[in-house]
Amino acid sequence: MNSGRTDQSPVPCRTRQFTLVELLAAMAVLVIMMFLLFRFIAGAQQAWSVATSSQEVYEKSRIAMDLITRDLQSAIARANDVPGQHIRFQQVDFDKLRFVSNGAVGAGGSESSPSVSLLAEVGYQFDATNYAFERALENSAGLATGWDLYEDRSGAPSCINKQGGFNEVIDGVLGVQFICYNEGMGAVTPWLGTAVETAVPYAVDVRLRIMDGKSFNRWKLLTGPDKSRLESEVALTFSKMIFLGGRQ
């Protein structure tokens, strides 16, 4: 007996496959996304590197400027302190300064014993070979070994310190400049001669050009335009006017 039902074969399920064009488009989108991601990461890394480098440069500047300020604010200069003897404030060149300071920071003794105030001979210079800002210091204890606070320090470095040489304060320095001013704020350089050497300048403008350590190491390896370009991009110039009042 025929029930009227007919057997039907199942229809196979067909899955849709990606075409070559679609795969290429997907790959292109993925490449673009990866490129944007890498650019974002590189930008963040560069920003972090710049921030770290700037922090290092500002820290170097702070160390040097604080030390110079404290030294200079204690500077003394007098004519005929003893008949025929002068305490001089001298500038040998744009990047050199030499003077006697009253209780200078780092003089030894004055730091460990605040009640003791020592005279100290201070010298600054720029080491153009090692690109460093250097400081020489000898306190009054050096009198026993021939130190003389009345000495004319306009000669060789050996004339201004008896402790064995200049010591590095900061490195990565591309330039140092001291500009002394009189009461009329006129620049007087060098600060030498009988009319001015026995008085402290009214003000001293201190300028330091500094580079962070990583950039400085790259800078030393470069030459020509590449070297100048890197310096202009990363080196910073710091300037501070220190008022001394022209004491004598």
Query: Which residues have CB under 8 Å from 199's CB, separation 6+?
Result: 77, 79, 89, 246, 247, 248
Mean pLDDT of 188-195: 68
- DSSP β-bridge partners for residue 209: 175, 237
Measured distance CA(206)–CA(184) in Å, rounded: 18
Residue type, 163: Q
- Which residues in 106-232 belong to E strands, given as ranges? 119-127, 132-139, 167-171, 173-181, 203-210
Average the pLDDT over each of 18-27, 103-112, 122-131 and give the range with the smallest value.
103-112
Rounded CA gap, 151 and 183, in Å? Answer: 26
**pLDDT band at 115; cut points 50, 70, 90:** very low
Task: Give the pLDDT confidence score for residue 93 in this predicted structure.
Answer: 83
Question: What pTM was computed for the model?
Answer: 0.72
75, 243 Cβ separation under 8 angstroms: no
Mean pLDDT is lowest, of 41-55, 106-120, 148-162, 211-225, for 106-120
Q: For residues 137 and 104, is the Cβ–Cβ distance under 8 A?
A: yes
Percent of the chain with pLDDT over 70: 70
Comparing C-alpha atoms, which of 97, 230, 232, 233 is closest to residue 176?
Answer: 97
Question: What are the pLDDT digits (tens) for 132-153?
Answer: 999 988 765 544 456 677 877 7
What is the tens place of the pLDDT at every residue in 61-111? 999 999 999 999 989 888 887 787 888 888 878 898 888 888 655 444 444
CB atoms near residue 96 (< 10 Å): 19
Position 100 scores a pLDDT of: 87
Q: Which range (40-54, 63-77, 193-207, 211-225) has the least confidence? A: 40-54
CA angle 205, 210, 214 (to 5 degrees): 170
- Of residues 206 and 13, more confidence is placed in 206
**Look-up: residue for tokens 């202009």?**
232
Q: Residues 154-181: pLDDT tens digits?
A: 766 655 555 457 889 999 999 999 999 9
